Amino acid sequence: MRFRGFGGFAASTLVAGAILWSFMTTDVEFSRLLSAGPRIAEFLGRMFPPDPTVMREIMKGGAETLRIAILGSLGAVVLSAPLGILASETMVSPPLYRTVRTLLAFIRAIPLILVAMLMVGAVGLGPLPGIIAVAFHATGMLAKFYAEAIDGVSRAPIAALESAGAGPLARLRHAIWPQMAPVIARDTIFRFELNLRESLILGIVGAGGIGFYIQTYVRSFQYDKAASVTLAVIVMVVAIEAINVALRRRFA
């Protein structure tokens, strides 16, 4: 009890200290917060009514974002299949899967927007750096999921089919694949949803897609047009979410 009491005291001191320290070091001023109200009102006023004439740009940008997400996801699937096997505890030796898992953790730790900026620098503006960035970033998660799908396969039915005289390919097809396929499908759809959401903003760093227009219109003070594009993004996110929920139910 005494130790727990001490631990609790230490933890609350640490949290309180961190909060105080943060207030001291940044320019959080109440006067600025108070004057923000009218400014936001003005900002929103200039966004309203949204300019519907940008429909063409929305369709073009939305289609490009969708393409980035699809090709980026495809790239991630292609990379994750071998990496997933190499990160699996049941397929390879501990030194190998531990190394690959560490590599995947590093990949996951790098934010997508950072990868996209690096890729814009490497291959230039447009959807290509976006596709590469999504493929790279998504592999960090997807390969780990695939490895877990492989490791989650129960060995007993495989042994049972072998005992019944089934060959290795028949065992793969009838004992391993039925266990893995729904998990892989569900994980891939989930990652595709994330890819699509995340690639909506890639245009802000010049990596293609609908985000480019938000960036352009905000920079040129065309807030009514920016509002239309933002609304379109919100609609897309909600639609993706709804489709994904319906799909995931199928693979439960």
For the chain, the distance separating the N- and C-terminal CA atoms, rounded to the nearest angstrom, is 44
Which CB, 40 or 169, lies closer to another protein?
169
Instruction: Compute the least distance from the CB of residue 182 to another protein, in Å.
Output: 6
**Site membership for another protein, residue 249 (CB under 8 A):** no
Helix pair 177-199, 55-86: axis angle to 10 deg: 140
| String of contacts with another protein for each residue 119-158, x by CB under 8 A | -----------------------------------xxxx-
Residue 103 or 183 having the CB closest to another protein: 183
Q: Return the residue of 121, 173, 238, 243 that touches another protein, per CB under 8 A.
A: 173
Per CB under 8 A, the segment of 16-24, 166-174, 223-231, 233-241 that binds another protein is: 166-174
Q: Collapsing DSSP states into helix, strand and coil, what is residue 148?
A: helix
Please answer whether residues 187 and 149 qualify as being in contact, where contact means their C-beta atoms are separated by less than 8 angstroms: yes
Number of residues interacting with another protein: please give it, by CB under 8 A. Answer: 21
189 interacts with another protein by CB under 8 A: no
Residue 166 near another protein by CB under 8 A = yes
Work out the angle at residue 73's Cα, subtended by the Cα atoms of residues 183 and 216, and round it to the nearest 5 degrees. Answer: 140
Find the shortest distance in angstroms from Cβ 171 to another protein: 8
Helices 127-151, 94-109: inter-axial angle, 10-degree rounding: 140
Specify whether the CB–CB gap between 78 and 134 falls below 8 A: no
**Least Å distance between CB 146 and another protein?**
17
Q: How many residues does the chain have?
A: 252
**Position 164 contacts another protein (CB under 8 A):** yes
Question: If binding is defined by CB under 8 A, does position 178 make contact with another protein?
Answer: yes
Within 13 Å, how many C-alpha atoms sit on residue 127's CB side? 16
Q: Does 109 bind another protein (CB under 8 A)?
A: no
**Cβ–Cβ under 8 Å, residues 230 and 58:** no
The smaller minimum CB distance to another protein, of residues 82 and 167, is found at 167
Min CB(247)–another protein separation in Å: 17
Comparing CB distances to another protein, the nearer of 8 and 178 is 178
Smallest gap from residue 251 Cβ to another protein (A): 10
**Residue 110: how many CA atoms within 13 Å on its side-chain side?**
20
- For the chain, what is the largest distance between any 2 Cα atoms, rounded to a whole number of angstroms? 79
Q: Of 72, 40, 57, 71, nearest to 232 (Cα)? A: 57
**Chain residues in the site for another protein (CB under 8 A):** 154-157, 159-167, 169-170, 173-175, 178-179, 182
